[in-house]
């Protein structure tokens, strides 16, 4: 087990800046996710930690030891990559045993360790098969077993579940999280799948264009995103964000589009200086679960909408509404909206929860203010 400390990490490929000033400390035993869209520099960052790529500048320490320019085998890291990297000519047993044979462990000791890890990963019955005789799920288990079998200080995983179908991915999320917590080895996991990161991570680093946008717990990332990009990257369906003008109507601060008005009230409006934005254009964000739908206009449902599409997901109903020029997705429980029209073109009314509104700076995307009800980490979401 070891802490990972990364300072001012940079990587250029020619003139292209792939990783730009990454600074993180991953605590002993922590499960940290690098999350971001394709090409944002996640894999390059992970490869620098593994020693497969040399940084242009910066420092990487594992367990207090400067490993920045050490070869991979001198870092004691266990890895699983997207393509698994299994040897086709070796059996599953041979593949898992390989890192132990490199370390010249005794035969009996190797067999004991391989059998133990095979039991954990539930692959005992395929130990004598070759990789091309395995399903995608089994291949992934073998690759993870090979990582687990070593007494590594750190585990690094790059999109290890990308070849699995949705059902198996769901199952593996819980299983991997359980295994990581029981072995307690500091782990960094790369993914572009926000659900994977949100459900498994202790903390998430959101990256874009080689830079870290935020490093925080899943809940903080979800409830207190640092930027519009972070806000829309996590959460499914994604946060609704549209242009508004901050205005004052009958003495009260409100956000206005060409078609409707959202009153802004609560202490956050004063605390965050939203009044100073009167007259300015900003981006307003609200998550689908914080918009309710009604078939009657009333005090809490003042925004007239036309139903663009209705998407039942089983437990929940998604209503995609056309509110003048703004398209908004809402999400509510099936029972809550059971009585509502589901036909395209129906007239409905939307209500924005005043306790869950975000304002972002146009251009930079920085979060200017948010009305998120303050809740402690221990409360239910
Ligand atoms: P993905 O999820 O698609 O793997 P990523 O976030 O892991 O994306 P990286 O693989 O780290 O992204 O790549 C970051 C950027 O650096 C990309 O634009 C990529 O094209 C570029 N890049 C990566 N490796 C090299 C290389 N060896 N030479 C030149 N450019 C590279």
- Residue identifier of the C-alpha nearest atom 14 of ligand 1: 41
Nearest atom, ligand 1, residue 210 CA: 14
Fold of the domain spanning 233-370? OB fold (Dihydrolipoamide Acetyltransferase, E2P) (2.40.50)
Residues forming CATH 3.40.50.300 domain(s) in the chain? 4-226
Ligand 1 centroid to 130 CA: how many Å? 31
- pLDDT for 379: 47
Q: What is the DSSP string of 343-367?
A: STT-EEEEEE-TTS-EEE-TTT-BE
Give the CA radius of gyration of the chain: 25
Question: Residue 326 is encoded by which pair of tokens?
Answer: 């703004």
* Per-residue pLDDT of the chain in tens (381 residues, 90 and over written 9): 699 999 999 999 999 999 999 999 999 999 999 999 999 999 999 999 999 999 999 999 999 999 999 999 899 999 998 878 899 999 999 999 998 998 889 999 999 999 999 998 889 999 999 999 999 889 989 999 999 998 899 999 999 888 888 888 888 899 899 999 999 999 999 999 999 999 999 999 999 999 999 999 999 999 999 999 999 999 999 999 999 999 999 989 999 999 999 999 878 888 888 999 999 999 999 999 999 999 989 888 889 999 999 999 888 999 999 999 999 999 998 888 877 777 889 999 999 998 899 999 999 999 999 886 655 444 444
Ligand 1 centroid to 38 CA: how many Å? 8
Q: Does the CB atom of residue 40 touch ligand 1 within 6 A? A: yes
Using DSSP bridges, classify how beta strands 261-263 and 252-256 pair: parallel, antiparallel or unpaired.
Answer: antiparallel
- Residue identifier of the C-alpha nearest atom 31 of ligand 1: 13
CATH top-level class for 4-226? Answer: alpha beta
- Residue identifier of the C-alpha nearest atom 3 of ligand 1: 38
Ligand 1 centroid to 299 CA: how many Å? 50
Ligand 1 centroid to 81 CA: how many Å? 15
Residues forming CATH 2.40.50.100 domain(s) in the chain? 233-370
- Residue identifier of the C-alpha nearest atom 12 of ligand 1: 39
- pLDDT for 164: 80
Ligand 1 centroid to 17 CA: how many Å? 10
Q: Would you say how long the chain is, in residues?
A: 381
- pLDDT for 308: 96
- pLDDT for 31: 98
Nearest atom, ligand 1, residue 159 CA: 2
Q: What is the DSSP string of 182-240?
A: HH--EEEEEES-HHHHHHH-SEEEEEETTEEEEEE-HHHHHHS-SBHHHHHHSSSSPPE
Q: Does the CB atom of residue 39 touch ligand 1 within 6 A? A: yes
Q: Return d(Cα 350, Cα 330) in angstroms, integer.
A: 9
- pLDDT for 193: 95
Cβ–Cβ < 8 Å for 249, 275: no
Ligand 1 centroid to 18 CA: how many Å? 7
Q: Does the CB atom of residue 208 touch ligand 1 within 6 A? A: no
- pLDDT for 77: 93
User: Of 13, 189, 212, which is best to mutate to test ligand 1, by the most ligand atoms within 8 angstroms of its C-beta?
Assistant: 13
User: Of 43, 56, 81, 196, which is best to mutate to test ligand 1, by the most ligand atoms within 8 angstroms of its C-beta?
Assistant: 43
């Amino acid at each position: 087990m070891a802490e990972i400390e990364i300072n001012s990490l940079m990587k250029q490929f020619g003139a292209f800046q792939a990783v730009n000033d990454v600074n993180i400390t991953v605590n002993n035993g922590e499960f940290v996710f690098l999350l971001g869209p394709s090409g944002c520099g996640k894999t390059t960052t992970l490869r620098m930690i593994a020693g497969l790529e040399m940084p242009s500048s910066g420092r990487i320490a594992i367990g207090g030891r400067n490993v920045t320019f050490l070869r991979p085998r001198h870092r004691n890291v266990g890895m699983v990559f997207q393509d698994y990297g299994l040897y086709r000519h070796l059996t599953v047993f041979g593949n898992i045993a390989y890192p132990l044979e490199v370390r010249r462990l005794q035969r009996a000791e190797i067999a004991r360790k391989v059998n133990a890890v095979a039991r954990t990963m539930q692959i005992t019955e395929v130990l004598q098969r070759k990789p091309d005789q395995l399903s995608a799920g089994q291949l992934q288990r073998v690759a993870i077993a090979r990582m687990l079998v070593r007494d590594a200080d750190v585990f690094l995983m790059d999109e290890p579940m990308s070849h699995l179908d949705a059902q198996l991915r769901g199952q593996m999320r819980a299983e991997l999280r359980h295994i990581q917590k029981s072995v307690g080895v500091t782990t960094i996991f790369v993914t572009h799948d926000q659900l994977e990161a949100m459900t498994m991570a202790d903390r998430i680093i959101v990256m874009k264009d080689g830079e870290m946008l935020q490093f925080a717990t899943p809940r903080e990332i979800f409830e207190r995103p640092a930027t519009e990009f972070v806000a829309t990257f996590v959460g499914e369906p994604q946060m609704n964000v549209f242009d508004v003008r901050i205005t004052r109507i009958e003495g009260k601060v409100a956000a206005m589009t060409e078609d409707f008005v959202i009153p802004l009230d609560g202490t956050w409006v004063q605390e965050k200086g939203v009044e100073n934005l009167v007259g300015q254009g900003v981006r307003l964000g609200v998550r689908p679960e914080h918009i309710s739908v009604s078939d009657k206009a009333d005090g809490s449902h003042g925004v007239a909408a036309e139903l663009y599409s209705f998407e039942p997901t089983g437990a929940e109903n998604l209503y995609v509404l056309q509110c003048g020029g703004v398209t908004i997705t809402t999400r509510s429980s099936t029972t809550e909206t059971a009585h509502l029209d589901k036909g395209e073109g129906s007239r409905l009314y939307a209500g924005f929860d005043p306790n869950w509104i975000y304002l972002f700076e146009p251009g930079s995307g920085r979060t200017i203010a948010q009305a998120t009800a303050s809740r402690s980490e221990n409360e239910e979401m």
